[in-house]
Amino acid sequence: MQVLVLNGVNLDMLGRRDPKTYGGVSINELETRIYEWAQDLSLSVRCRHTNSEGEYIGWIHDAYGDADAVIVNPGAWSHYSYAIHDALEILDVPIVEVHLSNVEQREEWRRHSVIADLMALRVIGKGPEGYREALEYLSTQG
């Protein structure tokens, strides 16, 4: 199973942003863990990160016909980007939304995800381990 992991806006600042909220790992350390977990589950994974919404949407378009599943952490875009929603809506594979922090217990505006209705699973507030949970879930979907 080919899984695409798309990390969005400000996730390149992991390790510098509030570690109590986001954990202390960098984006590189997070991606290393994701690759290791995927290998343990016999999944093929590709991680990508961008701070450009247009590039993120382009990668979603590229996933059509290429990926068997997608894990997304759009960051703040989750709360307002209907363009990302519309791009994800085109996909016909399982999609899992992951958030390192518990967005349900943070500011009011973070509690709403405009992409939630498209998700096979949402994993929130579990730090980096949320990606492992997403991968484990997807490994049962193939």
Q: For tokens 């994800």, name the residue.
A: 88
**Can you tell me the distance from the alpha carbon of 24 to that of 117, in angstroms, rounded to the nearest whole number?**
30
Verify whether residue 99 is a known catalytic residue.
yes
Give kind and range of the element (H or E) at residue 130. Answer: helix 129-139
**Catalytic choice (22, 56, 85, 131):** 22
**Catalytic choice (56, 85, 99, 131):** 99
DSSP secondary structure string for all residues of 42-88: T-EEEEEE-S-HHHHHHHHHHHTTT-SEEEEE-GGGGGT-HHHHHHH
Phi, psi angles (nearest 5°) of residue 136: -60, -45
Verify whether residue 22 is a known catalytic residue.
yes
Among all residues, which ones are annotated catalytic?
Answer: 22, 99
